[in-house]
Every structure is written in structure tokens, then in C-alpha cells.
């Protein structure tokens, strides 16, 4: 700093201090940091207010659209942040927060996350990441091996190969799904004679060259919304994203899938990809992947498996078999920020054949040069953080056996909760847990029997009221702020197409105890009893 | 945890401990954390080895493709990580590392990053982010205001509006550029009568319905590589991404742009978007944005500005004028992880008209419901971390005035470095700094005069040798590990189309001193003198 001009004002001096002098150990930020280091859950329970403010009121603290003119003391910001932001955030790692796919995390990830930010590597290129490049390639290789279990020679040839990639690490499952179908599209409509391929010439020229009237992607009705978004982004169109019905277990109806493939092919429509789901977002079920792989082969199409949620099940030798057939997929999406217990911002796509990555290869003048090992040559994203480091640490520290225990316990917990629901007179299990997700609803015992013996009209009327009841219970439980379940809509076979709103729970948090689960049912019973009008209306139907 | 079964083995107990009990303050990870908290630069300088190992050797430590079977002690992993990963990473925040767009960061971001991970909010939906949703919307609003300076009433109406979005926060500039052109494409080929729009029906049906033979995106030859990748992803095709020549100052040639637009329109090709660059990646120049906006209006097309790098210049009242015309853009990309000094993984796209976000709106059953304030309704990515919190903190703590100082000092530093290069007999400045980027190369004084008075053949021969010289100096300087500049290829007007390899420097790190800059030139001179053969070959040309 020798000859940068002497500070023109106090501002410049204090500004540079922000870059060079750490906070003192008594500052607000340091104290917050100490607390989260020592007792994260305690900190969150103390700081996040239990009673929820309506979002409209929270917005009042974030209303200015002008970047503040004057600098602010770090400690003042820390105080303000505690009161306005943290106190009204969500305790996503709470053992009673079982409505979404967040969980408690291993403690060692906290210092590692800080280290990652301190290192601030950019893994788009070797020049700004060095060892982070082979480290990330290894993580991708380990995920590849988890799915495909190729030989050591295979990984020796490909894992650190400059010309290809075993997959791509990215910010999450959506980017992974887009990348998979982008690669599938580019290979399906690749260069051919004078035609330079869809990557160069676009979708319209591709269909024209190959002589198809259209191209489609097929998946089940339980497919994640990112898949239709992908069809939009890739220029295929959401109408060409075809959702096939599911069976009573929320798995794709194989007969209908085959029939649709035959129909489409007869209409000169190219099936670009079939997408199997390993762990649907809403019910946690796994498609019959082996059968889907056969159909994909039959129709000469790309088979992708979206295992964003369920992929981690492969870590358990006791449940791995549930995903049988995934090894036939040409690409697989797995989120590390779900059942690998990594903080949000870590998803992977894996390519069975690393040469699939050729179809999305790209270069630039100043980086990503031909022959370099820059990972960015084969990713949708550009500059990316060294998040793979957190995955690398967890795979090593927890180990496959540790993950197996976590996966097994989660599934056992879901089975236990399903038993509790089944044993309770006033609850109805709507989808059985195959992994650690299940759905259910509150239905007073008397209404359960009525539902089985009533007219279609009455059944629909009852389900409509129950839907309102479920919504109210879910909202009130969320607002009470102690526990949280989410809700979604299903059309269970037993109600012949009636739309049914259900509670949805995800039991991946290792700190969620059996006690908490019982407590959640108790709380829901109490909340239900407060819905006097709805309960009365239910009784009157059919009388 | 009352009645989860008693641990079946020591493994289970220790596994749960990882989720519940923090590292002791004497553990390796805690010690690392303490060091980076107290003296990040010292830690990095001490831990990252100065002499670089070839990447092939680093790979040897990341060769196993099998997820380790047994768990590992956190401290053992910490030790291993120090030796194998951190020691061979890149000191991207070093004041002497001026080759890429990374910099030293404010200290307060370290504890905040840890807090962000501890909170693990998922901003895709309100249910898993609560106050993080209005906070992120405010950050997007502040960036919108930075560019467009709309009235308070505008922000009151739109910033927290459930039905629209002022832009999208994402993992970086690439996602931002894709989002901008995705929205532009969907609006350009929106629903019209029976046609449901390109989002639903795909690119081919869109061109057919609107009766165009093709659609294209235009930008300058200096456009970022993510733009042609975008053309590929969106189904437009890389051939339809048209790069217009630049003038002597690396700005798009406006006459050629207009001419190309006229040509294309005459050929029944729809111009989907014109992309202006505010801070080219290679040279830091800014396109004539006002003129481009006029042309975009003339040809009724979307005007996007990629200000990933240069957008932060708007924070300085002294240099804001350089980006005049950006306020006419319908969308703007700005990276927070560049000149806003945020760790990697933070980029934004801003929409002038928030209703542009309608064109990329999407919903699901269990989240992103119609009328909800879930941010994920209008983003390319799905689950996303609360990174906006770091931007919110920096905007408040540094303030506009603080950022202005940082921006101004960077530009002054680049001007100083350009003067040093110009004053030095053996260096040639190739591109003048407009922002804080510049390019140059080492050319011995005698060769500089020879280049001005020689045959075309000799000029090409000299430039070829100089290219090799530049490459060798750059590589050797990188391998010495003390300082780092990057390199790229340009075709400066004065050499009539010869490809010229240049050093490229980015002077945004507030800790880079004038001393360091002079030292870098000295080191390059010394490295050049070691290239005896090339220097000798240079002398013989033309003799």
C-alpha cells in the first residue's frame, strides 16, 4: 500500500480498513459468529421469532429502493440484520420443520463454508482454482461411480480428462436437469453431413434437417416443474413436455408411456428424452426405471433420471435396489444440497458416457482454451464457487457407511410416522412412504366411513371441505411457528380423480425425533378442532 | 431425540454428534477458522505454496473415484485438506493476482457467509426464506434503481409485487444473460391468436407462426462467450448469434451494426435482441449504448446490456456517464461477485419493465402458486441460497459513496499502470483502459520501431514470435507464483488483422498498490530476458 495516495478523507481510510482489518472479537458480527459456532440451533431458536409476522409487514423493513448513500458501521448493520432479517427468517434446520427438503447440517460445514468464501476460488477455469479443479472432478467422479460403478480403468481414463467431463457440478437440480436435456438435445440433433447440428443451427433447422414434425420429452405427472421449464428454455416448448399418468403408487404408468411413444413416433415426432423420477418431489416415489430404460432403448431415445432427491439412496446398500435401472440412464441429476446434507447451492448432473459432454462444449479466447482442463468448457454456468469442497468434505467425513445410516434412519422414521397416521382414528395416509416422504390428511373417523359409502356428489363435497380444512390446519400450524409441514395437491385413485389437498412431510432431518412426529399429529388434531364451521359442514353432507 | 433407537454402533452415535456438537476450539478446523478470521491474507500466503505443482501432479491426490467407505475424523480431514487442497489452490485475493476479476473482499463477508450457511434459507419460496424474500427483492430493486432511477411510486408498486419481478438474482452473469434472452425470446414470440407462444410451442412453431425465416441475436466481437452459449441453449443456434466488428477502441461498429440489421430484416430474419457490452471481458470497453438503443428501437427489438463487469461503474458519479444509454436497455446483467466485491455466486439480471417477467412465469402445485410472492416463479434456477444477504450487507456497509471511491481508485490505478507501460521502452500498451482493465505486451524497443517500418510478411513473423514470447512470460510468471496476469488474443487495428497475444490485467483489488504494478513490469522484463532464442529470432527478422 506504499504509494496509494494518502487518504483524501476519513472515508477512504475506513473503507480500506474494511478490506484489511477483521472485526474485533467483541463486535456484533463476531458475537453472532461465536454463537452460531457454539450452538447454531440455540442461536436460531433464540433469534427467530416464533410468532410469524405477515409478509406484508416484513416488507416494510425492506422498502427503500435506493442504495444507501453513506457507509454504515458493521456493528450497526449486524444489529439491524438480527432484528429485521434473521428474526423473520425460517428455522429450516429445526427438527420440527419437516415440510421441505432442508435439514440440520453437520457442524463442520460452517467453518468450511467460511473457508470456501475466504479462498473465493472460481472453478470455471484452472487459473482461478488450481487444486479445486481436480477436487471437483473427483467429486463428480464419485457421484458417477455411485450411479454407474464403472471400472478403475474407466475413471483413470476419464476423471481428469481435458477433453470430456463425467458430468457437471452446478447450483442445483434445475441447472442439472437443463444441462442433461441440453446435452441430450444437442446429441439427438447433432451434426450430420452439411447440417452443423442444433447447437449451431437452432431447433427449427434441426427438425427440418432430420425431417421430424416435432420433438418431445416424456415424464410422469409427478415430474418436477423444472422439467417443463427446461422444455421452455431449450426451445422445445412446454406443450412438447408430455406428462404421463401415474399408477396408484405415483409411479409412471409404463403401458401408457409405451403407448404414447408409439403414437408419437407414428406421427413423425421425435422423442428427445424420457425422464424417470427417482424420488418424486411430492410423494417420494421411484419410477420403474428398468422398464423405462427398455422403452427408451426401444424408441432410441435419451434416458434421463431426475434423482435430485432420491439419488442419495444409492449410498445405502439396504435401499439401493429401489433405484434399480438407474445405471441404464444416460444422464442423472442428483442434488448434493438435499440428502447429502450440503447447504443450498449444490447439484450435479452425471453423464454415463463422458463423451456426451462434447455436445455442449464451448471455448473462449482468454479461458476454456481447447485442451485445457477448465471445467467451464462443459458447464451451463460460468463463474462458480468451490462448493464441491463441502461435498468432498462430507463424503470423506461421513463416509458411505455414515450416509447409509442416515438414509436408513430417515426411511425407518417415515415408516414409523406412516404407522402412527394409520393407527390414528382421525388421519388418512394418502401416499405410503417409499423413501422418507409421505402425504396424509386429517379426516375425522366418522367422515372416513362416510367417504367409502356415499354418492359421487357427496364424495366431492366432502373432499372439497376437507381440502379447506387441510389448508387451514397447514396455515395455522405454520403461523404458530413451532412446526411446519407443507401441502400439495394429489388425485388419489381411491377418490376417482377428485383433487385432494394433503400434508406433505420430508423426514430427512436426523434430529427429528419420534416424539416430535407424534407432537405434530397432536397439534394438527387441536388445530382441526378449532375449525368448527368446516367440521359442522362435513357432518351435514348426505343428511 | 428421546426414542430414536439406542445407537446400534459407535458409528451412529458419532454420526449424530457431527450434527449436534460443534468442533472444539482446539480442532484443526477451528484453528483454521480462527486464522482466517484474524488474518485471511496471512493465512493464504502461508498455506498456499508459492511454487506451483503441475496440475497432473495435483490430480494424484484426487484420483479415487470411490466414495470412502468408512467415516473420517474431522480433524484428519482438516489436515489433509490443508496439505492437498488449500496449499495448491490459487490466492485469488492477492494484490499481485491481477489477471482475473477476483479481488480481496471486505472482512465482514466472512462471518456473514458462515451465518448465511447456518441459516440455510432457500429463496425459491417464501416458506423457506420468509424475510429473505423481501430482502432479496429489495436488493434487486436497488440494482434496478441504480440503472433506471425510476420514481418512488414505481418501486412502491413493483418491488414487492407478487405478480411480477424487477429482475432475477442468480448464481452469476451467465444465468443472468440466459434469463434476459429467454425473457426476450418469449416476449418477441409471445402468444398471438391461436398461437400459444414460443414458451408453450417451441422455436419452430414460433418462427412459422410469425412467418420469419430465422431469428438472431447481435452483439460485438468482444461479447462474452456466455452469449453464444445462450443462443445454443435457447434453441436459436450459435450461427444465429452474430458478432459485429469493433472499432479501434473495442466498441461495436455502429455503422456495421445498422447495416447488418437492415440486411437481416430484408432477408425476413427477425432480430430477437441486440446486446450492448458495458465493460468487455477482455478489454473493459463500453459500447456506444445510446446509439445501440436507437438502432434497437428502429428495428423494434429487445436491447439487452451485459454489464456483468462494468455495471458497478454506475455507483460512481464521476464515471457513471460512461454507461450513458444503459437506461434504455430492456434488461441489464450485473455481477455482484465482480466489482461489488461479493464472493463468487452472485449475479443479477434487471428488467426495465417488470412485466417482462410474465414471459418466463411458471408455477407448481406445492410451491410457486399463483399470487404467491415466491421468487422462484420468475427465475431460471430453482432452490437458491440467500446470497442476496451478502449484497444487502455490502450495499449498506460500504454505501454508494464507498463504492464510488473503490471504482474511482481502480480506474485511476489502471490509468497509472497505462502510463507506466507507455513510459517503459520495452512495453506496448495494446488497449487503453476505459474502466480498470487494460491489455499490453512486451516488445523490445528496437522491435517496436521495426514493426512500424517493415513488410507485411515481416510484421506477421514478428507478431508470431512476440505471441510466443507473451505466452511464455505469462506462463512463467504464473508458475513463479508471486504475481499473475492473464492473457488473451486481440486483433489490433494497427497490425491489420494480425492476431496478437496480450497480457490482460484487471485492477479492481483495492489492495493492489502502485509498487506492485511496477514490480510486475520488472518481473516481466526479467522473464523476457530469459527467452534468449525468441529474442534472437526477433532480431534476425528483416535482416
Residue B2: pLDDT above 50?
A: no
Smallest CA–CA distance from B398 into chain A, residue: A71
Phi and psi, residue A220, nearest 5°: -90, 165
- Convert the pLDDT of each residue in B38-50 to its tens digit: 999 999 999 998 6
- Rounded CA-CA distance A310/A280 in Å is 8
**Chain A touched by B519 (CB under 8 Å):** no
B469 sits in which H/E element: helix B456-480
- Convert the pLDDT of each residue in B349-397 to its tens digit: 999 999 999 999 999 877 788 889 999 999 999 999 999 999 999 999 9
What pLDDT score was predicted for residue B9?
Answer: 54
Residue B489: pLDDT above 70?
A: yes
DSSP labels, A18-31: HHHSPPPTTSHHHH
Mean pLDDT calculated for residue range A119-140: 96
CA distance A132 to chain B (A): 6
Mean pLDDT calculated for residue range A157-163: 96
Of B106, B133, B237, the CB nearest to A18: B106
- Rounded CA-CA distance B100/A125 in Å is 11
Any idea which residue has 510468471 for its cell?
B477
Any idea which residue has 422414521 for its cell?
A413
Which domains occur in chain A, in start order? 24-89 (no CATH), 161-385 (3.40.640.10), 413-540 (3.90.1150.10)
Residue A374: pLDDT above 50?
A: yes
**Which residues 418-477 of chain B have a CB within 8 Å of chain A?**
none
Share of residues in chain A with pLDDT > 90 (%): 90
Contact of A146 with A174, CB cutoff 8 Å: no
- Convert the pLDDT of each residue in A43-96 to its tens digit: 999 999 866 789 999 999 999 999 999 999 999 999 999 999 999 999 999 999
Find all residues with CB under 8 Å of B316, minimum gap 6, and list them: B403, B404, B407, B408
- Convert the pLDDT of each residue in B274-330 to its tens digit: 999 999 999 999 999 999 999 999 999 999 999 999 999 999 999 999 999 999 999
Mean pLDDT calculated for residue range A133-154: 98
Which cell numbers hold the place of A341?
A: 446434507
Question: Among the listed ranges A490-499, B226-235, B374-383, B515-524, which one has the minimum average pLDDT value?
Answer: A490-499
**Chain A touched by B209 (CB under 8 Å):** no
- Record: contact A171-B174, CB cut-off 8 A: no
Chain B residue numbers with beta carbons less than 8 Å from the beta carbon of A69 are 399-401
Residue A197: pLDDT above 70?
A: yes
**Chain B touched by A248 (CB under 8 Å):** no
Smallest CA–CA distance from A63 into chain B, residue: B138
CA distance B53 to chain A (A): 9
Residue B5 pLDDT grade (very low, low, confident, very high; cuts 50, 70, 90):
very low
- Rounded CA-CA distance B429/A175 in Å is 40
Beta-carbon contacts below 8 Å between A and B: 571
- Rounded CA-CA distance A482/A86 in Å is 16
- Record: contact B146-A373, CB cut-off 8 A: no
- Convert the pLDDT of each residue in A65-75 to its tens digit: 999 999 999 99
Find the angle CA(B503)-CA(B505)-CA(B510) to the nearest 5 degrees: 160
**Chain B touched by A317 (CB under 8 Å):** no
Residue B497 pLDDT grade (very low, low, confident, very high; cuts 50, 70, 90):
confident
- Record: contact A88-B130, CB cut-off 8 A: yes
What pLDDT score was predicted for residue B239?
Answer: 98
Chain B residue numbers with beta carbons less than 8 Å from the beta carbon of A113 are 113-114, 116-117
**Which residues 321-380 of chain A have a CB within 8 Å of chain B?**
335, 337, 343-345, 360, 362-368, 373, 380
Q: What integer best gives the mean pLDDT of chain A?
A: 95
Residue A9 pLDDT grade (very low, low, confident, very high; cuts 50, 70, 90):
low
Share of residues in chain A with pLDDT > 70 (%): 98
CA distance A543 to chain B (A): 33
CA distance B501 to chain A (A): 10
Enter the pTM of the model: 0.96
What pLDDT score was predicted for residue A225?
Answer: 95
Residue B3: pLDDT above 60?
A: no
Smallest CA–CA distance from A242 into chain B, residue: B200
Contact of A131 with B89, CB cutoff 8 Å: yes
What pLDDT score was predicted for residue A394?
Answer: 98
Chain A residue numbers with beta carbons less than 8 Å from the beta carbon of B127 are 90, 99-100, 478, 484, 486
- Look at chain A and count its residues: 543
**SS3 of residue B161 by DSSP:** coil
Residue A5 pLDDT grade (very low, low, confident, very high; cuts 50, 70, 90):
very low
Of A90, A119, A174, the CB nearest to B381: A174
Smallest CA–CA distance from A409 into chain B, residue: B4
- Rounded CA-CA distance A90/A389 in Å is 26
Q: At what angle do helices B514-529 and B388-423 cross, to 10 degrees?
A: 60
Chain A residue numbers with beta carbons less than 8 Å from the beta carbon of B237 are 198-203, 205
Of A19, A145, A511, the CB nearest to B66: A145
Chain A residue numbers with beta carbons less than 8 Å from the beta carbon of B168 are none
Contact of A91 with A483, CB cutoff 8 Å: no
Smallest CA–CA distance from B344 into chain A, residue: A385
What's the complex ipTM?
0.96
- Convert the pLDDT of each residue in A395-435 to its tens digit: 999 999 999 999 999 999 999 999 999 999 999 999 999 99
- Record: contact A127-B90, CB cut-off 8 A: yes
Contact of A227 with A284, CB cutoff 8 Å: no
Of A61, A170, A514, the CB nearest to B3: A514
**Chain A touched by B524 (CB under 8 Å):** no
Which cell numbers hold the place of A374?
A: 477448465
- Record: contact A58-B134, CB cut-off 8 A: yes
Amino acid at each position: 500500500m506504499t504509494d496509494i495516495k494518502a487518504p483524501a478523507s476519513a472515508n477512504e481510510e475506513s473503507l480500506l480498513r474494511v478490506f484489511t482489518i477483521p472485526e474485533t472479537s467483541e463486535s456484533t458480527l463476531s458475537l453472532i459468529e461465536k454463537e452460531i459456532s457454539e450452538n447454531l440451533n440455540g442461536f436460531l431458536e433464540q433469534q427467530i421469532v416464533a410468532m410469524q409476522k405477515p409478509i406484508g409487514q416484513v416488507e416494510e423493513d425492506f422498502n427503500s429502493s435506493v442504495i444507501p448513500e453513506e457507509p454504515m458501521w458493521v456493528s450497526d448493520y449486524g444489529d439491524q440484520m438480527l432484528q429485521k432479517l434473521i428474526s423473520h427468517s425460517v428455522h429450516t434446520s429445526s427438527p420440527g420443520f419437516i415440510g421441505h427438503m432442508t435439514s440440520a447440517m453437520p457442524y463442520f460445514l460452517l467453518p468450511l463454508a467460511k473457508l470456501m468464501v475466504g479462498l473465493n476460488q472460481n472453478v470455471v477455469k484452472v487459473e482461478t482454482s488450481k487444486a479445486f479443479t481436480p477436487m471437483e472432478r473427483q467429486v463428480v467422479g464419485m457421484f458417477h461411480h455411485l450411479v454407474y460403478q464403472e471400472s478403475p480403468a474407466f475413471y483413470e481414463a476419464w476423471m481428469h480428462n481435458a477433453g470430456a467431463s463425467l458430468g457437471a457440478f452446478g447450483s442445483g437440480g434445475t441447472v442439472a436437469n437443463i444441462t442433461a436435456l441440453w446435452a441430450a438435445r444437442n446429441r439427438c440433433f447433432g451434426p450430420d453431413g452439411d447440417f452443423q447440428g442444433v447447437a449451431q443451427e437452432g431447433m427449427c433447422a434441426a427438425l427440418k434437417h432430420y425431417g421430424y414434425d416435432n420433438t418431445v420429452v416424456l415424464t410422469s405427472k409427478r415430474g418436477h416443474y423444472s422439467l417443463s421449464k427446461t422444455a421452455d428454455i431449450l426451445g422445445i416448448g412446454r406443450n412438447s413436455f408430455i406428462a404421463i399418468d401415474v399408477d396408484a403408487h405415483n409411479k409412471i404408468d409404463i403401458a401408457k408411456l409405451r403407448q404414447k411413444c408409439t403414437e408419437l413416433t407414428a406421427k413423425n415426432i421425435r422423442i428427445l428424452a424420457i425422464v424417470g423420477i427417482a424420488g418424486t418431489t411430492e410423494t417420494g416415489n421411484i419410477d420403474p426405471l428398468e422398464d423405462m430404460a427398455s422403452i427408451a432403448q426401444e424408441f432410441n431415445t435419451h434416458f434421463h433420471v431426475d434423482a435430485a432427491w432420491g439419488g442419495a439412496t444409492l449410498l445405502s446398500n439396504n435401499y439401493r435396489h429401489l433405484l434399480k435401472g438407474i445405471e441404464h440412464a444416460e444422464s442423472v441429476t442428483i442434488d448434493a444440497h438435499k440428502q447429502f446434507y450440503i447447504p443450498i447451492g449444490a447439484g450435479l448432473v452425471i453423464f454415463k458416457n463422458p463423451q456426451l459432454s462434447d455436445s455442449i462444449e464451448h471455448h473462449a479466447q482468454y479461458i476454456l482454451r481447447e485442451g485445457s482442463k477448465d471445467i467451464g468448457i462443459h458447464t451451463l454456468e460460468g463463474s462458480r464457487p468451490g462448493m464441491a469442497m463441502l461435498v468432498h468434505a462430507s463424503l470423506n467425513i461421513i463416509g458411505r457407511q455414515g450416509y447409509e445410516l442416515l438414509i436408513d434412519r430417515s426411511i425407518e422414521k417415515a415408516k414409523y410416522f406412516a404407522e402412527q397416521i394409520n393407527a390414528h382414528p382421525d388421519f388418512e395416509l394418502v401416499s405410503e412412504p417409499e423413501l422418507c416422504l409421505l402425504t396424509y390428511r386429517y379426516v375425522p373417523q366418522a367422515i372416513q366411513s362416510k367417504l367409502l359409502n356415499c354418492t359421487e356428489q357427496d364424495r366431492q363435497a366432502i373432499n372439497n371441505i376437507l381440502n379447506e380444512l387441510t389448508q387451514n390446519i397447514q396455515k395455522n400450524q405454520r403461523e404458530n411457528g413451532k412446526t411446519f409441514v407443507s401441502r400439495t395437491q394429489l388425485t388419489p385413485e381411491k377418490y376417482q380423480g377428485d383433487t385432494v389437498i394433503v400434508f406433505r412431510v420430508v423426514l430427512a432431518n436426523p434430529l427429528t425425533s419420534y416424539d416430535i412426529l407424534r407432537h405434530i399429529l397432536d397439534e394438527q388434531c387441536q388445530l382441526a378442532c378449532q375449525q368448527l364451521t368446516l367440521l359442522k359442514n362435513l357432518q351435514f353432507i348426505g343428511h
